[in-house]
C-alpha cells in the first residue's frame, strides 16, 4: 500500500534518526520504547507520525527534537549529530533550529499574542525578521488579535499563536505532539491548514504526532509506529486510507 514518494521532491534531509533505540528502566521493568528506528524527515515535507497509544510516537519525537536522551543509535538535525553535543549546545540547537507546538498551547498569560510570538527570539537576543513575522501573522490570520492576551482568545486562536511562535524564528524543523488534541474539529482544521500552508508556501518542515486520521490526512506522508518500530509509511494520505490501515492494524494487534 506504500505509494512512491512525490516525484522530483527536494530530498534534503532536515532530520534523520538511524537505528534509534530508547529503553526505559532496567531488568523486569524495562520498556523498549524505540527499537532501532531509522527514519528521514525531508525538508519542506509535512510528516505525521501515527500509531496506537504507547507505540513510541512521543518518545520518537522527543528524541529527534533533542528533548530527551536516547539509549543507542544516532539523530541528526541538518548536519549536526545530537549525540556529540553537550547540554549547552543542545539547548542552543533547540532554540535556534527547532520550533515546538504542544497539545497545551504553553503561552505566557501575562504577555500579548505578539509578545508570545516573538518571545523565543527575545530570549535568544535575536532580532526578528519583521517581514517574515508579518507574513506568518498574515497567514495565520491574527492581525487584529495581536494585542490580546491568551485568556482573551479562543483555544483555536491560542494554538494559532503557538504555531506562529514556532514559525516566527524560521526554524529548520517544527515538531508538534498532538497539536490539535485540545481543539474542536473546526479549530483543529484551521491549525492543520496553517501547518500545511507553512510547508507549501513557506517551505517549512513539519513533523506532527497524532492519533487522528483526519489530522494525518493534512500531511504529505504518514509514518506508522507499533511497539517502538516503524511498520509502514504512506504518501499522500487520505483520512479513509489512514483509518483503514489503523483498523487492519488494530485487528492484527488483537489476534497476536
Give the nearest distance from C-beta 209 to Mg ion in angstroms: 6
Residue 33 binding target from Mg ion, ligand ADP, none, CB below 5 to 8 Å by type: ligand ADP
Residue 193 binding target from Mg ion, ligand ADP, none, CB below 5 to 8 Å by type: none
Residue 25 binding target from ligand ADP, Mg ion, none, CB below 5 to 8 Å by type: ligand ADP
* Between 51 and 120, CB nearer to Mg ion: 51
Beta bridge pairs of residue 190: none
* Between 2 and 53, CB nearer to ligand ADP: 53
Question: What are the strands, taking DSSP E only, across the chain?
Answer: 13-24, 31-42, 46-50, 72-77, 80-81, 98-101, 173-177, 206-209, 221-226, 229-235
Residue 53 binding target from ligand ADP, Mg ion, none, CB below 5 to 8 Å by type: ligand ADP
Residue 130 binding target from Mg ion, ligand ADP, none, CB below 5 to 8 Å by type: none
Give the nearest distance from C-beta 166 to ligand ADP in angstroms: 19
**Phi, psi angles (nearest 5°) of residue 83:** -60, -20
Q: Which residues bind ligand ADP (CB under 6 A)?
A: 24-25, 31, 33, 51, 53-59
Give the nearest distance from C-beta 54 to ligand ADP in angstroms: 4
**Phi, psi angles (nearest 5°) of residue 85:** -90, 145
Alpha carbon distances (Å) from 6 to 76, 119, 120, 166, 214: 23, 36, 34, 26, 20
Give the nearest distance from C-beta 126 to ligand ADP in angstroms: 32
Q: How far apart are the first and last CA of the chain?
A: 22
Beta bridge pairs of residue 77: 15, 80
Beta bridge pairs of residue 54: none
* Between 50 and 142, CB nearer to Mg ion: 50
Residue 161 binding target from Mg ion, ligand ADP, none, CB below 5 to 8 Å by type: none
* Between 58 and 112, CB nearer to Mg ion: 58
Give the nearest distance from C-beta 143 to ligand ADP in angstroms: 35
Q: Which residues bind Mg ion (CB under 5 A)?
A: 58
* Between 53 and 130, CB nearer to ligand ADP: 53
**How far apart are alpha carbons 43 and 29 in whole angstroms?**
38
**Phi, psi angles (nearest 5°) of residue 14:** -85, -35
Give the nearest distance from C-beta 182 to Mg ion in angstroms: 14
Q: Which ranges of 65-184 would DSSP assign to H, the alpha helix?
A: 87-97, 113-124, 130-140, 155-168
**How far apart are alpha carbons 152 and 142 in whole angstroms?**
13
Amino acid at each position: 500500500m506504500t505509494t512512491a514518494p512525490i516525484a522530483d521532491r527536494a530530498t534534503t534531509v532536515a532530520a534523520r534518526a538511524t537505528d534509534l533505540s530508547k529503553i526505559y528502566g532496567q531488568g523486569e521493568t524495562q520498556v523498549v520504547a524505540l527499537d532501532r528506528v531509522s527514519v528521514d524527515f525531508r525538508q519542506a515535507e509535512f510528516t505525521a507520525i501515527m500509531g496506537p497509544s504507547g507505540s513510541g510516537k512521543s518518545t520518537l519525537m522527543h528524541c529527534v527534537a533533542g528533548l530527551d536522551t536516547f539509549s543507542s543509535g544516532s539523530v541528526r538535525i541538518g548536519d549536526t549529530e545530537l549525540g556529540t553535543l553537550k547540554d549547552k549546545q543542545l539547548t542552543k540547537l533547540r532554540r535556534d533550529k527547532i520550533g515546538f507546538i504542544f497539545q497545551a498551547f504553553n503561552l505566557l498569560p501575562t504577555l500579548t499574542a505578539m509578545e508570545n510570538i516573538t518571545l523565543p527570539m527575545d530570549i535568544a537576543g535575536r532580532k526578528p525578521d519583521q517581514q517574515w513575522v508579518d507574513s506568518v501573522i498574515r497567514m495565520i490570520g491574527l492581525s487584529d488579535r495581536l494585542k490580546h492576551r491568551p485568556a482573551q482568545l479562543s483555544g483555536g486562536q491560542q494554538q494559532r499563536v503557538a504555531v506562529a511562535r514556532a514559525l516566527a524564528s524560521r526554524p529548520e524543523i517544527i515538531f508538534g505532539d498532538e497539536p490539535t488534541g485540545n481543539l474542536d474539529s473546526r479549530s483543529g482544521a484551521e491549525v492543520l491548514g496553517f501547518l500545511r500552508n507553512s510547508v507549501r508556501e513557506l517551505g517549512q518542515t513539519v513533523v506532527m504526532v497524532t492519533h487522528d486520521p483526519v489530522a494525518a490526512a493534512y500531511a504529505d506522508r504518514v509514518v506508522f509506529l507499533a511497539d517502538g518500530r516503524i511498520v509502514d509509511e504512506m504518501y499522500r494520505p487520505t483520512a479513509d486510507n489512514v483509518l483503514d490501515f489503523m483498523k487492519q492494524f488494530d485487528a492484527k494487534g488483537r489476534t497476536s
